[in-house]
């Protein structure tokens, strides 16, 4: 039986969030879900690429510095699998300044890049702009 809830759930915008920091991932996921987005969370690029191989997402948000498969490599592989993917890159830095990673992420195909910590309203504005909502 198809209920109104199921129909609404099926038409919901889907976001894949790839972030290794569990607390930050959960906070960001909650922020996106409050806006009505369906969010799937994974903790690294390997898991993210598995998800992308079997599902389609309206937006992919990925951290840059992660174990197992870092974000720049993940972005390149996403663009090979699904060239039309909308990607936002986020980074808190690492051994180098976050800015250089984020510029590289945009070069590899991220539509927008944010340095952590970022302004939540600016971030949500970018998400809404990308998704056309």
What are the tens digits of pLDDT across the range 88-101?
999 986 555 556 88
Other Cβ atoms less than 10 A from the Cβ of 69: the count is 17
Cβ atoms of 101 and 88 closer than 8 Å: no
Q: Where are the domains of the chain?
A: 4-131
Q: Which fold has domain 4-131?
A: Rossmann fold (3.40.50)
Q: How many CA atoms lie within 13 A of 22 on its CB side?
A: 0
Residue 4 confidence class, pLDDT cut points 50, 70, 90: very low
pLDDT in tens, 15-48: 999 999 999 999 999 999 999 999 999 999 999 9
Q: What value does the mean pLDDT of the chain take?
A: 88
Name which residue leads in pLDDT, 131 or 102.
Answer: 131
The confidence score (pLDDT) of residue 30 equals: 97
Tell me the whole-structure pTM to 2 decimals: 0.87
């Amino acid at each position: 039986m198809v209920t109104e809830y199921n129909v609404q759930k099926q038409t919901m915008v889907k976001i894949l969030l790839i972030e290794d920091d569990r607390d930050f991932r959960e906070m960001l996921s909650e922020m996106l879900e409050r806006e009505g987005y369906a969010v799937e969370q994974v903790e690294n690029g390997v898991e993210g690429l598995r998800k992308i191989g079997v599902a389609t997402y309206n937006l992919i948000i990925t951290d840059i510095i992660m174990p197992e498969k870092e974000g720049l490599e993940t972005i390149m592989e996403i663009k090979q699998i699904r060239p039309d993917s909308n990607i936002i890159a986020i980074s808190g830095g690492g051994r180098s300044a976050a800015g250089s990673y984020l510029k590289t992420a945009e070069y590899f195909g991220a539509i927008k890049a944010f340095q952590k910590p970022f302004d939540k309203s600016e971030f949500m504005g970018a998400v809404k702009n990308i998704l056309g909502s």
